[in-house]
Chain A
C-alpha cells in the first residue's frame, strides 16, 4: 500500500519544455498524458501554470477515481444500500449525471460500469451469456437510485463511475483556473479532450491533431484549428469484441446491457466547453447508426470516423 502510494507520487511530476512558439507542461493524470500549451516564453510562469493544472487534475482524479480507496466514489460504492451524504462538488456532478440520464432517455448512465463484470473489450471473442447480462442489469439504472441532494441511496451491489464525465470536467476546471492565473492563451489537453482558455494572440488558432483511431486502416490524422472553446473525442477502435464476424463496439447501452449497434469508431465534437463537447460525442456514440443525424440536428461541428 505504501509502496503503491510512493509509485504514484513518483509518477506525479511536472515537466516543462519548449514547443512550437509556446511552452508545454507535461504530466500524467487519469490514465492519460496531459499537456498544457502556453503562449508564453517565460519558463517560470509556464512551470507555475503547469503545476496549477496538475494539482487540480490530480485532486479531481483522487477524489472521483473509482480505482482509489477512501474517496467519495469508494464511499458510495461501498455503501451497501445505506444513504451517503456527499459534498457540494460531488452533488453537482451527480445532478449533472441525472440531467444527462433524462436527456439521453437513459442511455447515459453513471451506474452502468458494473456491466464490465461481464464485458471485457480486449479484441477477443468472449461474448457474455444473455442470462449473465440480464442478471447484472438488476444492478444498473439511475432510475433505481434515490438521489435527493445531498443524499444518495443505491441498491446493494450498484456502483457509480464518474469516468464518463471526470476527464472533461477536469479539463474545464483546469482551463478555468488557468484563465484566472494568466492573461496568456493556454490549451489544456488531457489525452485528446481539450479546451482553450482564451483566444491566442501570436497565432490564429491552436493546432490540434485528431488521432487516427481506425485501428486496422492507416488513415491520415485530421488537423484541427481551435481558437476558443473546446474539443472532445469519444471512441476507441482498439476496444471491441469480434465473434462470428460480428464486431461488438465497447459502447454499451445500459438499458439492454449490450453494445450499441452501428456506433462510429470515434466522434470528435467542438463545443463551448469540454464537458459539453464530451457529452455530445458520448451521446452521439450511444445513438449508433444515427450518430451523425443526431449531431447534425444539434448543429454542432463534428468529425466522425466510421
Chain B
C-alpha cells in the first residue's frame, strides 16, 4: 500500500489487513498526533489497511 507521510514524502508497505495503529508504530509515528485517511476518508486507527489501499497520514493541529 502507498502511504503519504505527514512531511509529504511517500512510503510503500506490503501486507494485508494490518491495523492502522500498527502501521503507524511501524513508521515510528505517535498515533496520538495524527489522523489517517484510507482511500480519501478518515478512518479510526482500529481499522485495517493493505493491498492497494492508499493511506494519508495527517498531523492535526491544536492551537487557537
Partners in one complex: no
